[in-house]
Structure formats: C-alpha cells, structure tokens
Structure 1
C-alpha cells in the first residue's frame, strides 16, 4: 500500500484577505490524493515550539472559512529563526528547532504561504533541513515579480477604493482636499490601482518623482474651474521633495512607514489655503473579508500546490501568469522584484484620465 503523505501548511508574514481560501482549497484537494493536512500554528514559531503546535485539518475544520479574513492558523512577521531575538536581548540561531519540528511531525512536504521575505526564510530552512517545500505567494504589496497577482492584493485595493469613495462624498460636502495614504511597502501598486478605480485626481507612488508645486497647481486649477473638491492617493513609501522617507519608530523599536499623507496635507494647506484632511488606511487593508478575486486566486493556488506535491515537485512556487496557474523555482520567484511599471498600462491609463502621477517625463526623457 502507498504511504499516506503528511503535508504541513503555514501562513507567514502579514495577514491579508484570501489566506483561508488557500487553506480550504489545500484540504479539499488533498482528499483526492489521500493526503493528511496539518495546519501549523503561528508560522515557523509553531514548528519551533515544543510540543509542535499543529493540528490535523479536515473538511469540518475548514468549512465556511472561505469568506474569513486573516488566517485561522495565525501568523508572524518577526522572529527570523536564523536570528531569533530572545527575552534577554540576545540573538540566537533557532533554525534547527524549526527543522526538527518539521521532522517530528513526520511531514513529507510543507506548503508555505508568504511574501518574498517569508519565502526566502522558508526556502533556506528547507535547503538546510531536507524539507520539501512548495510556496504560495501572498502579499498585499504585489511586488513578487514572478506572479501577476499575489494573495491579498485585490482585497487591499478593494478596501482602498471603498475608502476613497467614502472620502469623496465628504470632500464634496466640505469643499476639501482629501488625501488617502495606503500601504504597499516600497511599491505603488495599491496606490495606482486604487487611484484609477476611485477617480483620484492626484496619485503619488515611490516609483515616480513628483513636484509639490505642480501638485498644488493642479489642485488650484481644479478649484478655479469650479470644482470644489479634490482627492489624492499617496503610497506610504513616497518621499518628501528633498528625498527623505517619512517613518516613525514604535515602542518596540521598529521603524515603519507612515506619515507622508499628513506631510503633504500640511504642505498643500499652507501653500494653497485649501482645507485638507488625511486618512491613513493602514491595516484596514489587511483585515477585510477577501474579495471574490482573492478567493478564486486562493482556491487556484491551493489546488495547484497540492498537485505539485502529488508529482513530487518541490522548491517551486505557484504563480498567476496570463490567466493561468504555473509554477516557478522559488529562488527565481523571490529574486524578481516587481515595482510599478512606469511605462505600463496603469500609469498610461492614469495619465490618460488626466490624473497627476508625478514627473513622469523626467524618467522617460
């Protein structure tokens, strides 16, 4: 008789819409191959803990989770096992504990759902510890170059557009400039997509420099033409005109993006006399009910990941390319960073709609 394969699955990095769709699809597809799926709690931390924190997932446990935000397995975006911060302040390599946890569970393979950072760590663990790894791309930033879409991106854009729609009504009612600051790390995919879908008049992204005087002139010209409001979307990694990123340090000593929207709002008000208000969307973009597209993508990725394991194809990441699921080497996937294409359709569309997206001529001249 053929031995039943025992497959682990974990979610790592920041949460987002669509993670549970992947988990559900993996469990449902695994039935066709008589595989057992073990959900690992808290990403690599679950494999590090003793006893290992994992549970057998069956159809009942994944019933109804398709529409849930977040992840039923829990996740972490800190605590790199190769440089793990201990309570006494020391840094310890605990990679072997994670690897040992994989083998203690008797796993034949591991499905890791994460972004470039998480997948780089998981692949290093797999290479060091003889672990069979299949990866699923997840990042609201959509900056993994080997896939056109990653889990969570569409949901984040949907939330941003809904926020911009609501802010537009208030902008009209109060004759204001409304500025929406969105996440995306160093890429402007969320900002430019939400800006087009939400009808923003100015969209600023890290990939394109901007002129603050030109931004103010655009807003003033709208007012002179009889429009009593304007809306802006700005990506969190956009810098000040002097080239400085706007960051803050939290109580844990972590330096994070945040505040460029307020900076721009203050500058616009002082230069134009126009009243501005700023909304920093933040983690609202992560915690939403997943969009239909992210549910579909999660389902397709989950099925494809199990199919790869059935074929004993490891060290691969599933990806969405030309409306199909393909698989690529994980090393290749995490090496391809995808910023917004300044020559691409979305930027051209925004410009064609009359949206100010920065000094694009400086980059293409």
Structure 2
C-alpha cells in the first residue's frame, strides 16, 4: 500500500478543501493511505503534526472555505523572498523534513501551494523526496496552467463589491477606489473590473502617470458624476508600488488605494470626493463557487494520478481543458501577466475604460 502525504501551504483561498477531497477519494479508490500534515511545512518538521485522512474525513468539505489542514505563509521552511526571489533553505531543515517523511513511510508528498511553497518543494526533492505539486495562487498568475482554483471565487466577491459600491458612488457623485489582490499580475482586478463595468482599471503590468489619471477623472466626473476605479494592490504609480518588507520574507503589498487618494488630493486639492475600499482577505475566504469547486476536485484527483504514474517533481496543470503535468521548475519560473493582447484588456479598451 502506498502512503501519500499531503499539505496546504502559503495563503489560503477558496477551493483548498476541494483539492483535499478530490485527492483523498481518488487515493481511496487505489487503496492508498493519505496522511495530512498540519500548517504546511511546519507539520512535517519536528514535532511533526499529522493525521490520517479518510473519505469520511473529507466527504463534503469541498463546500467549505479555508483548509481543514490549516496553513501558514511563515515558518522555518520559507523559500520566497518576494518578486521572484528565492532563498536556500538551510540543509539541516531540509534533512529534518526528509528524515521525518522517511520515518513515517511517506512514498510521495503532494504540496498544494504557490510559487514559494513549490520552490521549497524543489529543494526537498533534491534530497530524494518524491514531490507532486498542485498550484495554489488566487492571482491566477502561473504561466504553466490555464486556471487556478480560488481565482473565480475571488473575482465573484470583487464584482459583488463593485456592484454594491456603485450605488453609493452614484448617490454622492464620488470617485470610489476598490482595491483588489494582485501582487505582480492584475488578473483579479482586470476580470472583476471588466465584469463590474469599472470606469478605470489599474494593473501592476502597466505603470501610469498620476497627471494622466487626474485628467481622466476630471473628464469622467464632468460627464458622469461618479467614477468606479478598480486597482490591483501591486499597481504602480510612476513606476513605484506601495509595499513594505516583513523580516526576510515575502514583500507585503497593500495601501495603493489610500496612497492614490492622498496623491490625487495633493495634485488636485478639493476637486474630487474620494473614498476607498480595500477588499483584502474577503477575497480569500468563504465558500468556493461551482467553477472553483469542480476545478479543485480535478486538481486533487490528478495529483493522485501523478503519484500513481510516478510523475514526481512535477506540478499538475490545467491546459487546454485537460489535466497534465509540467516540471515544477518550469511552473515557478515564469509569471503569467496581463498583456496588451489579453482579451479582457482589449475589451476594456473598446469600452472606453482607463486601463493602465
């Protein structure tokens, strides 16, 4: 009997539990035993924190947000430095993780995580651990896969917020800035801004000049009375993003909407009635929508198929309406960014949206 480990690592998002349900049920059909590690890599390191996952444990959890295994984006195993940087995990930490997995009789480890977690997994694979990756990024920004779970639910939350904020903006003739997640890729802002009929969409991929934005606001307010602006947290004004470092880890973004309102007020004092809404973690939480549930279940089942096939040190990927695998190194090497040829971007331009 194969014994398969599974863990969720990094920030949470809708669909994680569906991956677990898909994996455990697919494993059960093959007679595999599944061991779930708590709080990501920390559950593998001493003192190990794990439990067996049965079909009874996971039945129906696809409808739940978060992860029953818990997760963390901090700890001793962090390899991500932000903006694509990766640090070497100390040899003693890697060895401890490998030895604990060997002691538990783990034949393969399924790592559900983003580029940081998968970069960590690659370093562990070099010590002989059989790794299968499952991509987890709410930003939908991995080039090796067409869609990632959590993205659709996040967009749905953002569109609902835009719809609600629009009515109060219209009532007060205000400029409303709605800040979404999106560190280095603006897919959530772009998709939700287009679907929510935003008047301006500001993305990390396209820096803009504040003077041009103020000119747009002047014209739009004069013609329409209110303006809806959707801005990704990683959007850059004059080639700069609003960010701060936390220790040695990932760059923490956020606050671009407040910064924009301050800068606009300096450049055009008293000209606009500005308000902001930072959606933040509300985009991560709650019940996954049907699209994310079905996709996440498919990822979980495909991860077990990869274990069965011996497709190790590879990541499950959704490409051309099918599940396949790609090398983890390829998967984390290139971000999928919005480009001037992206359909949603071109559509927004045709609708007269200020998009940068």
1:82 deviates by 7.2
Aligned residues: 345
Distance in 1, matches of 2:335 and 2:246, equals 27
Change (3 A) 1:253 1:348: closer
Worse-matched range after superposition: 252-261 or 314-323: 252-261
Counterpart in the other structure of 2:252:
256
| Aligned equivalent of 2:166, options 152, 165, 168 | 168
Gaps of 5+ in 2: 81-88
Task: Please state whether the residue corresponding to 1:94 is helix, strand or coil.
Answer: helix
Q: Is the counterpart of residue 64 in structure 1 residue 63 in structure 2?
A: no
Show the 5 A alignment for 1:33-72.
Answer: 33-50=30-47, 52-72=48-68
Q: Who is 2:288 aligned against?
A: 290
For normalisation by structure 2, the TM-score amounts to 0.91
For the aligned residue pairs, the C-alpha RMSD in angstroms reads: 2.1
Q: How does 1:64-213 map to 2 (within 5 A)?
A: 64-81=60-77, 93-128=92-127, 130-213=128-211
**Equivalent position of 1:363 in the other structure:** none
> Residues of 2 paired with 1:255 and 1:28: CA distance?
37
Task: Report the 3-state secondary structure (helix = DSSP H, G, I; strand = E; otherwise coil) of the residue aligned with 1:327.
Answer: strand
Equivalent residue, structure 2, for 1:335 = 333
When residues 46 and 234 of structure 1 are mapped into structure 2, their CA distance, relative to the original with a 3 A threshold, is: same
Which of 208, 229, 237 in structure 1 is aligned with 2:226? 229
User: Secondary structure of 2:143's match?
Assistant: coil
The whole-number CA distance in structure 2 between the counterparts of 1:258 and 1:192 is: 17
Mapped partners of 1:119, 1:252: distance in 2: 18
1:153-181 per-residue CA deviation (whole Å, 9 max, x = no partner) reads: 12221111111111111111221111011
> CA offset at residue 248 of structure 1?
4.0
Is 2:239 aligned against 1:220?
no
Contact 1:15–1:286 (Cα < 8 Å) also in 2: yes
Structure 1 CA distance for aligned equivalents of residues 55 and 309 of structure 2: 23
Deviations for 1:8-41, whole angstroms, at most 9, x for unmatched residues? 1001111100000000001111122111111111
Q: Secondary structure at the match of 1:81?
A: coil
What is the CA–CA distance in structure 1 between the aligned matches of 2:144 and 2:242, rounded to whole Å?
A: 29
Please show how residues 243-322 of structure 1 align to structure 2 within 5 Å.
243-248=239-244, 256-270=252-266, 271=268, 273-322=271-320
Structure 1: which 5+ residue stretches go unaligned? 85-90, 359-365
List per-residue Cα deviations over 1:332-364 (Å, max 9, x = no partner).
111122111222212101101111112xxxxxx
Residue 206 of structure 2 contacts residue 236 of structure 2 at CA under 8 Å; is this kept in 1? no
Give me the whole-angstrom Cα distance separating, in 2, the residues matched to 1:209 and 1:335. 23
Q: What is the distance in 2 between the residues matched to 1:264 and 1:327?
A: 41
Answer yes or no: is 1:8 the counterpart of 2:30. Answer: no
Q: Does the Cα contact within 8 Å between 1:269 and 1:275 map onto a contact in 2?
A: no
Question: Do 1:80 and 1:121's aligned partners in 2 also have CA atoms closer than 8 Å?
Answer: no
Which position in structure 1 is the counterpart of 2:86?
A: none
- Structure 2 CA distance for aligned equivalents of residues 115 and 231 of structure 1: 31
Deviation, 1:54, is 1.0
Q: Distance in 2 between matches of 1:82 and 1:116?
A: 11
- The 8 Å contact of residues 139 and 153 in structure 1, kept in 2 or not, is answered as yes
